[in-house]
Structure 1
C-alpha cells in the first residue's frame, strides 16, 4: 500500500512543480510571451539600465539536466547595488539578510516565461518596526525601481 501512495505523491509533486506561477499577495507576477532565456537576458539588461547589479544567480535547471532530469526553466536572480546596501545596513543590520532582492524567472508550461518577485516593501516590512520609517521609504523606492526593471524586461 505504501508504494502506490509514494508513487502518487511523487506524481503530484512533479505536476505541481510544473505549474505556472500564480499571483500572490506581496508579489509582482507578470507572465510574458518571451522565452525563458530571452526573459533572463532582458532582466539583466533592465537591471543594469536601472543601476542595479546582478549580484547572484541560482537555479536547479542546469544541474537537474546534468543528472538526466528535465524540469522547466527556473532562475533566481539577485539584484541590488552598494548604495542601497549601505543605506539598509545603516538602518538595520538584520534587514541586510534580505539583500540582494531576488527576481524569479520561470518557464511556463507553454514555453513562455514569467517574471515574479516579492515587492521590496514586502521583503523589508518585518524590519520596519525596528529600523523605522526610513526603511519603509527606502523599500518603497526599491518598489519603484523593481517595477521599472520588470516593465522594461517584459516588453
Structure 2
C-alpha cells in the first residue's frame, strides 16, 4: 500500500491542469476561441502594429516539458516602448520598476486561450503622487494602447 501511494505522489506532478484566470481589480481578462499558439502569435503581431515593442517573453511550458511535466500553454509577454519609458522616467524613477507591462496568455482545458493583463493605470497607480497628472495621462494612453493590442489580437 505504501508503495502505491509513493508512486501516486511521484506521478502527481507530471501534469498540472489549467485554471481559469478570474476577474480581479485592475485586470482585464478576455476568453477567446483561439488556440494558445495562435493567440501568442497574434499578441506579438498586434504589439508591433500598435507601435509597441515586445521587451520580454517567458513561460514555464517548454521548461516543464523538458522535465517531463505537462502543463497548459502559459506565456507572459512584456510590452513597452522607449518613448513611454523616457517620459515616465522623467516623472517617477520608481515607476519604471513596473516596465514592461505584461500580457498573460494562458491555455484552458479545451485548448482555447485567454488573454489577460493588468491595466497600466492600475500598475502605475502607486506612483501617481510622485508623477502627478502627467503620469496619469501617460498611464491612460497606455491603457488605450493595451486595449488596442488586445482588440486586434483577439479578433
1:107-126 deviation line (CA, Å, top 9, x unaligned): 01110000000000000000
**Under a length normalisation based on structure 2, what TM-score does the superposition of the two structures give?**
0.89
Displacement of 1:56: 0.2
1:26 corresponds to 2:26: yes
Partner SS, residue 132 of structure 1: helix
1:58-107 deviation line (CA, Å, top 9, x unaligned): 01000000000000110000001000000110000000000011000000
Matched residue, 2:123 = 123
Write the mapping of 1:69-148 to structure 2, written as runs, cut at 5 A. Answer: 69-148=69-148
Check the 8 A contact 1:103/1:117 in 2, yes or no.
yes
Inter-partner Cα distance in structure 2 for 1:140 and 1:82: 17
Check the 8 A contact 1:128/1:135 in 2, yes or no.
yes
**Under a length normalisation based on structure 1, what TM-score does the superposition of the two structures give?**
0.89
Query: Structure 1 stretches (4+) deviating beyond 3 angstroms?
Result: none
Q: For the aligned residues, what is the CA RMSD? A: 1.6
1:150 corresponds to 2:150: yes
Check the 8 A contact 1:20/1:109 in 2, yes or no.
no
Matched residue, 1:61 = 61
Check the 8 A contact 1:105/1:113 in 2, yes or no.
yes
- Structure 2, gaps ≥5 residues long: none
Structure showing greater radius of gyration is 2
1:5-30 deviation line (CA, Å, top 9, x unaligned): xx6xx78xx55xx2111211111100
Aligned residues: 145
Inter-partner Cα distance in structure 1 for 2:131 and 2:47: 27
